[in-house]
Every structure is written in C-alpha cells, then in structure tokens.
Amino acid sequence: MTDSQDNGEVYNEKSVKVLKGLEAVRVRPGMYIGSTDTRGLHHLIYEVVDNSIDEVMAGYATKIRVTVNADGSVTVEDDGRGIPVGIVPGEGKSGVEICLTDLHAGGKFDQNAYKVSGGLHGVGVSVVNALSTWMVAIVKRDGSVWQQSYEIGIPDGPLKQIGKTNETGTTISFLPDKTMFETTDFDFTTLVNRFRQEAFLNRMVTIEFEDKRIGKTEAFHYSGGVSAFVKYLNTGKTPLYDPPIELQGEKSGVEVDIAMQYSDSYSEAVSSYVNTVCTPDGGTHLTGFRTALTKTLNDYGQTNNLLKDIVLEGSDTREGLTAVISIKMANPQFESQTKEKLGSSVAQTAVAAVVAEKLSMYLEENPAVAQVILKKARFAFEGREAARKARDATRRKSLLESTSLPGKLADCSEKDPALCEIYIVEGESAGGSAKMGRDRTFQAILPIRGKILNVEKARQDKLLDHDEIRNLTIAIGGGIGPAFDVTKIRYHKIVIMTDADVDGAHIATLLLTLFYRQMRPLIDEGYVYLAMPPLYRVSKGKQQKYCYNEDEMNKAVAAMGQGCNVSRYKGLGEMNPQQLWETTMDPENRIMKRIMVQDAVEADRLFSVLMGDDVEPRREFIIEHAKEVVNLDV
C-alpha cells in the first residue's frame, strides 16, 4: 500500500467521523455548550477567546481583539503563533481544519500545560463552528496568510494560502446559527465583565473589545493582576490596608497567585479560578486557602498575644475579606460536569503550603497590618458569639419559623414551587397594578418600599430586624444567611420588577446583592430574573405596539407612519393592570433577563459602590447611569 492510498483511507474514515460529530452537536447542542439560551450563546465567544487565552498563557500571545460586528457575527483575533497550517501526519488535513472541525482535536497536537479551552466548559472551537451559519479562520504563520471557510462546520475546501505576511496570529469569525439558539443577541455588559475578569487573571494580556452594533469600545490590561482585581472588587469599600496582600508561589506543579484585602464591611467576597476559569463552587484550592488562612492567623495571634484565649473559626477570618485565588495547573479534575468545583487534591496542599509560608512571612514583616487583621477577626468572633446568644434568646427563631406569610404578600394558589413565580415590585402603586393584572394561580406579588436593604453595613444578626428583608425571607421561604435552604423555597422564579430608571436599577442592585450574599443558591440555580417592562408604546388608531428599546420604537414608528403617537413609560405606575400583564408579566409575551452569577458578582461590586463609604465612585456611577437615562429620553 502506498502512502497516498493510506492517507486517502484515513482521510475518508476521519471525514465520516467528523461529519457525524458535527451532526451530533447540532442534534443536541445543549450537551456541548450547556444550553441554547443566552448563556450558551455567550459560551460560543468564550470558547473562541479561551483558545487565544491559552496562547497567552503559553507565553506566545499578548493581544486579543474581540469584535461583535454590525450583523451580529463575532471576530476574535490574537497575535499568537497561529494554528499550525501543515498537514498533520496520519490525518491528511491541515492543523487548522482538524482544530476547527474535529470534535476530539483537543490536545492532539498541542502540548500546552494550562489549557482553559477544551476543558470543563471548553468544548473546542469545532463545536462553535458546528453551531455557526458560517465561520472563517485566517491564520498568519510561516510567512503566509491562510484561510478556510465553513458552513455549519463543513469546510468549503482545504486550507488556502491567500497572501504573504511576516506576522503571526489567528483570526476566527463566526455567525451563530439562529436556528440553534433561543436568542442570538450578544449582551455588551456580560461580555465586558467576562473580558475584564480574564484580563485581571492574565496580567500579560490586553483584550480590546468593540461592539460595532452600538459603537462602543473597551480595552482591558492590568499589569497588577489579581491584586488589581481585588482593588477593583473593593471599589467603594474602605480597605483596612493597601495595597492588597499578594501570595505567590509554585508547589508540585501548581502555580498559586492570590491577592487579599480586608475592608471594614462584614461580607466575604472570595472568588477562585483554575486556569482563569471561574470555579463558583470553589473546591480544593479554596479549601486549601481557607484552612491555611485560619491556621496562620490563629498561630500568629497566639504567638503575639493578640487573641487572648480565643480560637478563631474559619468564618471569623473571612469577615470583610475580599480575595482572589487564581491557580494554574495541568489537567485539573472537577467534581461534577456542570457545577464548577475543583477536585484535584494536589491543589489543596499546594495552595495551603503557599499561603501558610507567604502569609506568615508577610505578617512578620508587616506587624501593623497584622494587628489590624487580627483585630478584625477577633471582632468577628465576638460578633458571632453575640449573634448566637441573641438567636437563642429572641424572637428571630419564631419569626422565621412562623407559618404566617407577610400581610403584604399576595400569594398564588398553586403550591408546587417549580410552577410558582413571585414578583418583587417596587412601590405600592405598581404593586397594586401587579396584583390586579397577574394570573393569581401561579403568580405571587410582594410590593416593597424603595431604598431598604443595606446588607453591607448590617451585621448578620441585624438583617431580620428590617421589615422588608423579613417579609422577603418569609415569602421566599428558604431562610437567610449560611443556613439558607434552597429546597424549602416557595417559588422557582423570583422576578425583580422595578422602574426602568436609575432608582429602579439601584433597587434591583440592592435586591441582587441581598440574594447574592444571603441566599446565594437562588442565583446559582438560576431562579432570579429581572422583569423588562417596555420603554415605549407606539399607537395609531386601534394599532398599538410596545417597544422595549429605542431601536424597536423607531421601527414601529416607521411601520405605522405619519400621525402615530409615541408614549414613553417612565415608571411601572404609568401602566394599568391590563397593560402591565400584557407587556411584562404574561409568560407568552414578556421579556425577562435571567440573572447569572457573573451579573450578581458585578451587582455585588456595584452595591459597594452605591452604599460604600467612598463618595467618588458613587458619583461616577450615578453620572454614568444618568447618561444612559438621558440617551433613552429622546
């Protein structure tokens, strides 16, 4: 048998496999990208960008440009080595084609130790390709420019040389297939937050992001890395020392990079990452951090007579702590497919060793900071003791366990939580309309008064003294704080409905922060939504159309023509019950934004900006958002 025959056979057999693979992706897209909703859609971009991030982590690229084009397609460009263009022996195809069409290409010819792509969420660019109406790959490598195009994953021909260059890099463009997704509308803010986070976790990279649909550009580069990340997360809080403590080191092949800074707040904001991928459920690296932190602070406190005769618990050492734990390691193992929790035990020992060594060194060298931290932890210990005593003694137990629901709650008749929705509505008048407009079989309404929930400043034991927080807690039914039990909740859709103005955004932020900090599983399970009331009603005679943004309004005006009437809704209160039902509450017509952990993390930060001690960031936020409101006010 000659070589060419051999290659031919391999080629045919592989091609059939590739086609079958791509077909499988299109039959069950959710299996490959998690879901076909907005989350799955955004994963497409993350997957492609993660490949470029891998090239950055391997030390070959520094710049990534992401563009959402005017037609909704996406372009991701990097200045790395370029995907290999040569024919891969035994495959009979170029490296580019294998990378972009073979489901199992990951790792085949890429010896990158800390891969993010192709990992847990990482499914390979071939999956993105299969779910795209078209994709174009352009590679600059070996002195030439190379190109290959695809339709729903199938190449239009072999990789072609289309020009000369002395640069290197990879550019991938794609248009998500509308028939595969519930929505193909990328969200600017979601993407901005993701790219910012990736830039914080890779201090080498510069990510430029342009959204041509709205003419906005952002660039992210943070030479300060995780320390800059922590400072960013603490915007608006009052740090107890500055700069954040940095703990870096390498043990057993695990690179550990941690920054931590305490503020005078009571909440904990510790997030963890493996190879720049967020691990919302923590895992071994987080456990290693926690145990070493507790032990190191106890040891230091005992040795230096700062703790008298108390022993700190883990939670005492994390009150008011903002920290980012970023590790890089080969072949991380996760505990489950969907929940992102690290299982590799080597990460626990490595992180614990680095933290114990570097933190005790830091404390020895910075006794003033050490004093401040120990004092904070001791205060937390005392607060916890006080709370426990109060809990035993007072009414809070009976309050939460009482079977009577809040008087303000208009409950639904359905009892199966999976079918029930609760609308948390700003203001009594909108609450009244919502009560009248709702479908009372499955929709409950809880009106709340404006600015209520300063979770930041309130200690755990004081939260339930707030009427509004108590009402919310009893209505939702899972309790509050560390003991929150998601299996006891009474509704699987918790919908925040506020006016579409700065105050409304503020109240939504407060509620999201409460959920994020005190009822976290609600966010993780995807039970929290923002209602999206329309901004305009365009009418002419008997015709009418509700519009949810300016663009839709302009289109409706154009369609109805001369003499049509445009009214802008400034608040929910301007809609009568029937209108509120039709536009915002009827599952057939309404638009709701499902809150993802990422949104909640940003809300948590925004919350600190709004409620924290610094005036300047708050002023900036309000000005920034005032602009948006003015823009809407045409």
Least distance to ligand 0RA, CB of residue 80, Å: 4
As a whole number of angstroms, the distance between CA 613 and CA 607 comes to 11
Kindly provide the residue ranges of all beta strands, DSSP E only, lying in 142-282, ordered along the sequence. Answer: 144-151, 154-155, 160-164, 169-176, 206-211, 216-220, 245-251, 254-262, 269-274, 277-278
Q: Which of 25, 66, 83, 453 binds ligand 0RA (CB under 6 A)?
A: 83
Tell me the window of 78-86, 128-136, 201-209, 509-517 that interacts with ligand 0RA (CB under 6 A).
78-86
- Strand 87-88 and strand 144-151: the pairing is unpaired
224 binds ligand 0RA (CB under 6 A): no
As a whole number of angstroms, the distance between CA 161 and CA 183 comes to 35
Tell me the window of 28-36, 75-83, 457-465, 475-483 that interacts with ligand 0RA (CB under 6 A).
75-83
Contacts of 151 (CB under 8 A, 6+ apart): 133, 134
Return the H-helix or E-strand segment holding 26: helix 3-27
Helix axes 188-201, 225-233, angle to 10 degrees: 140
Three-state DSSP at 487 gives helix
Which residue lies nearer to ligand 0RA by CB, 51 or 598?
A: 51
Two tokens at 596? 């993802």
Least distance to ligand 0RA, CB of residue 71, Å: 22
Least distance to ligand 0RA, CB of residue 349, Å: 31
Tell me the window of 39-47, 80-88, 185-193, 280-288 that interacts with ligand 0RA (CB under 6 A).
80-88
Tell me the window of 81-89, 318-326, 479-487, 512-520 that interacts with ligand 0RA (CB under 6 A).
81-89
Least distance to ligand 0RA, CB of residue 82, Å: 6
* Amino acid identity for residue 476 in this structure: I
Tell me the window of 79-87, 299-307, 573-581, 594-602 that interacts with ligand 0RA (CB under 6 A).
79-87
Q: Which of 34, 72, 84, 481 binds ligand 0RA (CB under 6 A)?
A: 84
As a whole number of angstroms, the distance between CA 319 and CA 263 comes to 9
Least distance to ligand 0RA, CB of residue 125, Å: 7
CB atoms within 10 A of CB 567: 11
Q: Which residues of 613-630 are buried (b: 16+ CB within 10 A; e: fewer)?
A: eeeebbeebeeeeeeeee
- The DSSP letter of residue 194 is H
- Which residue of the set 177, 198, 319, 426 is catalytic? 426
Q: Which of 21, 29, 40, 80 binds ligand 0RA (CB under 6 A)?
A: 80
Which residue lies nearer to ligand 0RA by CB, 84 or 432?
A: 84
Longest dimension (CA), the chain: 87
Size of the site for ligand 0RA (CB under 6 A): 12
Least distance to ligand 0RA, CB of residue 225, Å: 22
Interacting residues with ligand 0RA between 90 and 109 (CB under 6 A): 109
Which residue lies nearer to ligand 0RA by CB, 29 or 118?
A: 118
Closest CA to 457 of 616, 320, 275, 295: 320
Which residue lies nearer to ligand 0RA by CB, 55 or 461?
A: 55
Q: Which of 44, 47, 56, 78 binds ligand 0RA (CB under 6 A)?
A: 78
Q: Is 501 a catalytic residue?
A: yes
3-state secondary structure 500-556: CCHHHHHHHHHHHHHHHHHCHHHHHCCCEEEECCCCEEEEECCEEEEECCHHHHHHH
Least distance to ligand 0RA, CB of residue 221, Å: 19
Q: From residue 37 to residue 66, what is the string marking binding to ligand 0RA with x (rule CB under 6 A)?
A: --------------xx--x-----------
Least distance to ligand 0RA, CB of residue 41, Å: 20
As a whole number of angstroms, the distance between CA 495 and CA 363 comes to 46
Which residue lies nearer to ligand 0RA by CB, 199 or 528?
A: 199
Q: Is 499 a catalytic residue?
A: yes
Q: From residue 108 to residue 147, what is the string marking binding to ligand 0RA with x (rule CB under 6 A)?
A: -xx-------------------------------------
- Which residue of the set 177, 499, 599, 604 is catalytic? 499
Q: Which of 14, 26, 81, 568 binds ligand 0RA (CB under 6 A)?
A: 81
CB atoms within 10 A of CB 124: 25
Which residue lies nearer to ligand 0RA by CB, 125 or 505?
A: 125
Which residue lies nearer to ligand 0RA by CB, 137 or 507?
A: 137
Q: From residue 613 to residue 632, what is the string marking binding to ligand 0RA with x (rule CB under 6 A)?
A: --------------------
Least distance to ligand 0RA, CB of residue 216, Å: 24
Least distance to ligand 0RA, CB of residue 140, Å: 10
Contacts of 255 (CB under 8 A, 6+ apart): 114, 327, 328, 329
Interacting residues with ligand 0RA between 18 and 37 (CB under 6 A): none
Q: From residue 147 to residue 176, what is the string marking binding to ligand 0RA with x (rule CB under 6 A)?
A: -----------------------x------
Contact 32, 123 (CB under 8 A): yes
Which residues face 219 on adjacent strands? 208
- The DSSP letter of residue 583 is I
Q: Is 426 a catalytic residue?
A: yes
Helix axes 367-393, 284-303, angle to 10 degrees: 100
Alpha-helix runs per DSSP H in 304-366? 345-365
Rg (the chain; Cα; Å): 27
Least distance to ligand 0RA, CB of residue 177, Å: 21
Q: Which residues of 40-67 are buried (b: 16+ CB within 10 A; e: fewer)?
A: bbbbbbbbbbbbbbbbbbbebbebbbbb
Tell me the window of 3-11, 82-90, 585-593, 595-603 that interacts with ligand 0RA (CB under 6 A).
82-90
As a whole number of angstroms, the distance between CA 289 and CA 504 comes to 38
Q: Tokens 């990789």 — which residue?
A: 159
Residues serving a catalytic function are 426, 499, 501, 503
Give me the residues that bind ligand 0RA (CB under 6 A), please: 51-52, 55, 78, 80-84, 109-110, 170
